[in-house]
């Protein structure tokens, strides 16, 4: 990779996701400390966190949208996308000129993962390593699926807490626009490290807090 490459964590949630502890200022502080040059903010059904963080740190504006089949990430968005059927979510992402990223596909312990291979083939990018995936074979299946279908691959931490930021990152030559970003994915160095199991317990507690508020 060239010296001007960017170290990017492509899957981070802010406090706007509801069950994330990550405030905007803290993400900036930790990302810089860990040598990240940019991040993709992919809050659940929300883009306010991405808009706020963009004023302080280089980002890709994303959203992890709930669909009837599972979660779908849009990258390079301009506007929030509402929950909808999977195909409609993909269409709305592309109407904005964005890219469809399929996060943690085939994760057997996550109910919101997209399990359909047919739908996953319709994505622009497959997340082949997610630091929060507990069973290594689920990440391995995602990678084999991307390779066999010749789909671009990404990795991301899926961070909801500060300890997770930068657990998985990619070195990319450009995050300026969707086309140059996709091209950069074909020639990249990655760092892949699983998150400790304790982060899942923390997330469950936060979800319960939201239920009983």
205 has pLDDT over 60: no
The CATH number of residue 59's host domain is: 3.20.20.140
- 82 located within any domain: yes
> Phi and psi at residue 52, in whole multiples of 5°?
-65, -45
Question: Quick one: the chain helix, strand, coil %, rounded to 5?
Answer: 35, 25, 45
Query: For 58-113, how does the pLDDT look when each residue is reduced to its tens digit (9 = 90+)?
Result: 999 999 999 999 999 999 999 999 999 999 999 999 999 999 999 999 999 999 99
Does the model's pTM come out above 0.85? yes
Q: Which domain holds residue 142?
A: 6-211
Average pLDDT over residues 176-196: 94
Residue 55, domain member (yes or no): yes
pLDDT value at residue 37: 98
Helix/strand/coil for 186: coil
- pLDDT given at position 96: 97
Question: What token pair was written down for 41?
Answer: 């903010």
Q: How confident is the model at residue 20 (pLDDT cuts 50, 70, 90)?
A: confident
Distance between CA atoms of 31 and 10, rounded to whole angstroms? 12
Q: Are strands 168-172 and 6-12 parallel, antiparallel or unpaired?
A: antiparallel
Q: What total of structural domains would you count in the chain?
A: 1
10 and 156 Cβ atoms separated by less than 8 Å: yes
SS3 category, 131: coil
> Which has the closest alpha carbon to 86: 62, 121, 51, 127?
121
Give, in order, the Cα–Cα distances in Å from 159 to each of 68, 115, 167, 180. 23, 21, 8, 25
Between strands 153-156 and 38-41, the pairing is unpaired
1 part of a folded domain: no
What is the predicted pLDDT for the residue at 2?
46
Mean predicted lDDT score pLDDT of the chain: 93
The reply to whether 62 falls in a domain is yes
Q: Residue 179 above 80 pLDDT?
A: yes
pLDDT at 122 over 80: yes
Tell me the three state secondary structure of residue 66: coil
pLDDT band at 136 (very low <50, low <70, confident <90, very high): very high
pLDDT at 204 over 80: no
């Amino acid at each position: 990779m060239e010296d001007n490459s960017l170290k990017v964590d492509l899957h981070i949630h802010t406090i706007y996701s509801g069950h994330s502890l990550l405030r905007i200022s803290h993400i900036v502080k930790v990302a810089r400390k860990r040598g990240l040059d940019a991040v993709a903010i992919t809050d659940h059904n929300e883009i306010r966190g991405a808009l706020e963080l963009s004023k302080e740190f280089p980002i890709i504006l994303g959203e992890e949208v709930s669909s009837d089949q599972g979660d779908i990430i849009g990258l390079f968005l301009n506007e929030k996308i509402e929950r909808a059927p999977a195909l409609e979510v993909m269409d709305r992402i592309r109407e904005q000129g964005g890219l469809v990223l399929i996060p943690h596909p085939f994760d057997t312990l996550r109910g919101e993962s997209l399990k359909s291979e047919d739908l996953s083939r319709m994505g622009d990018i497959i997340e082949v390593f997610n630091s929060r995936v507990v069973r290594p074979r689920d990440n391995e299946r995602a990678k084999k699926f991307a390779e066999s279908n010749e789909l671009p691959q990404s990795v991301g931490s899926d961070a909801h807490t500060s300890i997770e930021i930068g657990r998985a990152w990619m070195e990319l030559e450009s995050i300026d626009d969707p086309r140059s970003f996709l091209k950069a994915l074909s020639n990249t160095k990655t760092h892949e490290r699983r998150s400790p199991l304790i982060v899942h317990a923390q997330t469950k507690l936060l979800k319960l807090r939201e239920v009983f508020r």
